[in-house]
Amino acid sequence: MPTPQTPAAAPVAGERRDLPLMGRSAEVGTVDRDARTVDLVWTTGARVQRYDWWNERYYLEELSLDPAHVRMGRLQSGTANLLNTHSSYDLSDVLGVVTAASLDGDQGRASVRFSQRDDVQPYFQDVVDGIIRNVSVGYRIYKMERIAPAVDGDPWIYRAIDWEPYELSLVPVPADPGATTRSAEQGRQQRTFACEFFDQSTPAAAGNPTRKEPNMPGENTTTQPAATTTAATQTAPVVDQRALDAAREEGARAEAERQTGIREAVRLGGLDGAFADQLIGERSMSAADAGMAVLREQARRSAANPTRSAADIQTTRDETDARRAAMGDAIVLRANPRAFNDAARMDAARQFRGMDLMDMARQAIELGGGNCRGLSKREIAVMALNLDRDMQVRGGMSSTSDFPEILGNTVGRSLRQAYQVQTRTFLPFCRPSTAPDFKQVARTQLSEASALQKVNEGGEYKAISFGDSAEKYSLGKYGGIVSITWESLINDDLSAFDRMPMAIAAEAAALEGDIVYGILTGNPNMADGVALFHATHANLAGSGAAISEAALSAGRAAMLKQKGLKNRVLNVKPSFLVVGPDKEFEANKFTSANFVAAKSVDINPVYNTSLEVIVDARITGNLWHLIAEPGLIDTIEYTYLEGEEGLFTEQRRGFEVDGLQIKARHVFAAKAIDWRGLYQNPGA
């Protein structure tokens, strides 16, 4: 393998950066059907426009075809593969092998042989039939010299003076010359390679005269006039402005004809303008090729939307909504990498990897038509949060930014998800409900229904009556405001998307627990004017007793003997034993089926081992309760506002603060509906 040569002129400056594997497009040449070989030209070294993200400028990349500058060992080894669209993650991606490769003057040529596998045959047949005509080369750059423009306004030239072709691929559409990665869309970790950059004061200092070369299909080529130099001084190159203007006019005319032809083909095919824009964006798509592309698109859409015998409504997700959701997920994952484990959502969010809040704000402005060049971080934050419409208009934005919506939805989703995972120990023994408004809710006790009456032959059914006694309560509203200020964007503060939602969600769950357990410990009056736990209700132990088989049996018996207002026996059986931390050991001791007794008489009875122990620190001291299954008899009912089951969020542009305000609202209430399913022992 030849050793790369150093340019004649010393570099002004040097630095090392990581670059991904680069790619360029070419076309299939001669095909030998019998030998299953294809000859092709994989490069002419022509210039391609790319973007330098470090220096924020466009440049023309040029591949030097000096044999001393190209490492041909890999491509000439006979082991380099022909791949399917640059994919190398599976053996099925290998379509063939590069059998020969060479540099021939201003061209790089190669011969490839296709595999005889059955799954490769369709690709080879498409090449033979002229359907697949595009080839792309992937290459690594080791050294790059940067040549400053001789005339203001002309682009920089980045010339690869040490580079290596890695592989060749069949591709459906030539890659965008401005793209520098080819694996991002597959959602895999992008591989990068170290590359040394050297700055030259003028194009002539590179020691490798700039060549004028024909443009390859799919490449944006700008011809740069050669520079002259002397031993003592370097002078700016002479530019033939008239020739340059003529070339630009010819290029503009050809591009206009190409776009007109593509739009006409799309119109005749009955497809929309968006598809025409897509084809125009593919630089290698000619007007002649557009007709075949239209036919393929018509076939694809026909297969995706077969004729249906009945009317059908299909819901699709707007691209904007998908981007907003992905950006929100990226913010959440930055704040908490373990926030969720949904592979599809994580893949969608990966496009925003490495972006902080300011980067995302800048993108939101640019998607709204604005230009962030020259703006300070404060100005970007103000524009992204829609805090100054005049500033947005001056910045070229045709619409407002959707960044506040992304942030607000992300916080709201984080709040609701955090709320769902909070521990609420009261859920098993309480019954959920909703109320349509804040008016007083009246719940009639199920135990007050009249008895079913016998219906004789030919007799009439009589209406079932309920007692007039009903428990009444109304919803309560609680809430607070979370602020996302432009200072938090500048500081890249992610607390609003992780710690703050978790704290608010924990507070909401704690509020619910306080209200429910406040009923058990506060012993409020019922509709009959008597306390919930009272001797009149026959649900309060006469004296406190520690948890034991005898005490549990007494409580169980008291619940079984409960009667409704019609004096009917209810046979209420307890299902839950609710205690505080001080009684947890006792509760488990007398209800566990795994307790090994020294004597058979000490074995816990089955009716006690069926009890589910619920421990909550809000139950203090020796107090303990027996509670029935809420599906069999009313116990405690907890209620949300209809349509707002749990935390609900709203957002608005801040007035008290410079930023976005997100209001968290929680509407909740709880009430003991029937004392007959509840029993209390003060404990000892």
pLDDT tens profile 209-253: 443 333 333 343 333 333 333 333 333 444 455 655 666 676 677
Is residue 190 located within the same domain as residue 325? no
Percent of the chain residues past pLDDT 90, beyond the cut:
23
Query: What's the pLDDT band for 398 if we cut at 50, 70, 90?
Result: low
- DSSP state, residue 68: G
- Asked if the structure places residue 583 within a domain, the reply is yes
Neighbours of 628 (CB within 10 A): 23
pLDDT of the residue at 405: 82
Q: Are 28 and 19 in contact (CB under 8 A)?
A: no
Distances in Å between the alpha carbon of 16 and those of 144, 160, 193, 262?
10, 14, 10, 43
Buried/exposed code over 2-29 (b: 16+ C-beta within 10 A; e: otherwise) = eebbebebebeeeeeeebbbbbbbbebe
Is residue 445 located within the same domain as residue 400? no
- Predicted TM-score (pTM) of this structure: 0.49
**Strand pairing report for 134-147 and 22-32:** antiparallel
pLDDT tens-digit series, residues 148-164: 888 887 888 888 899 89
Is residue 186 located within the same domain as residue 287? no
- Asked if the structure places residue 218 within a domain, the reply is yes
pLDDT tens-digit series, residues 183-210: 333 334 445 667 787 777 434 334 444 4
pLDDT of the residue at 594: 65
Is residue 272 located within the same domain as residue 410? no
pLDDT tens-digit series, residues 95-135: 999 999 998 888 888 899 999 999 999 999 988 888 888 88
Q: Residue 93: helix, strand or coil by DSSP? A: helix
Which amino acid is present at 257?
E
3-state helix, strand, coil in the chain (%, to 5): 35, 25, 40
Is residue 399 located within the same domain as residue 425? no
Roughly what angle, to the nearest 10 degrees, separates helices 287-304 and 241-268?
Answer: 30
**Strand pairing report for 648-653 and 636-641:** unpaired
Is residue 93 located within the same domain as residue 131? yes
Q: Which residue has the tokens 């009917």?
A: 568
- Token pair listed for 150: 């001789």
Question: How big is the CA angle at 677 (ends 419 and 525), to the nearest 5 degrees?
Answer: 85
Is residue 52 located within the same domain as residue 197? yes
Is residue 530 located within the same domain as residue 645? yes
* R_g of the chain, CA atoms, integer Å: 38
Q: Of 67, 69, 92, give the one whose Cα is nearest residue 81.
A: 92
Is residue 194 located within the same domain as residue 213? yes
Among residues 275, 294, 313, which one ends one of the domains? 294
Name 38's bridge partners.
31, 112
- Asked if the structure places residue 4 within a domain, the reply is no
pLDDT tens-digit series, residues 342-375: 888 888 888 888 888 888 888 888 887 888 888 8
Q: Are 483 and 677 in contact (CB under 8 A)?
A: no
The whole domain housing 263 covers 254-294
Distance CA 652, CA 412 (A): 13
- Token pair listed for 146: 């940067």
- Asked if the structure places residue 599 within a domain, the reply is yes
Those residues with Cβ within 8 angstroms of residue 423's Cβ, 6 or more apart along the chain or in another chain: 509
The stretch 166-175 carries a mean pLDDT of 77
Name 159's bridge partners.
62, 145
Is residue 213 located within the same domain as residue 154? yes
- Asked if the structure places residue 230 within a domain, the reply is no
Those residues with Cβ within 8 angstroms of residue 399's Cβ, 6 or more apart along the chain or in another chain: 368, 369
- Asked if the structure places residue 306 within a domain, the reply is no
pLDDT tens-digit series, residues 418-431: 888 788 999 999 99
- Asked if the structure places residue 455 within a domain, the reply is no
Number of domains in the chain: 4
- Asked if the structure places residue 467 within a domain, the reply is no
Is residue 273 located within the same domain as residue 209? no
Is residue 89 located within the same domain as residue 190? yes
Q: Which residue has the tokens 């299953």?
A: 36
Distance CA 62, CA 498 (A): 47
| 467-471, 508-512, 549-553: the lowest-pLDDT one | 467-471
| 16-25, 131-140, 407-416: the lowest-pLDDT one | 16-25
Question: How big is the CA angle at 347 (ends 344 and 352), to the nearest 5 degrees?
Answer: 135
- Among 8-22, 302-316, 522-536, which range has the highest average pLDDT? 522-536
Residue 287 CB burial class (10 angstroms; 0-12, 13-18, ≥19): middle
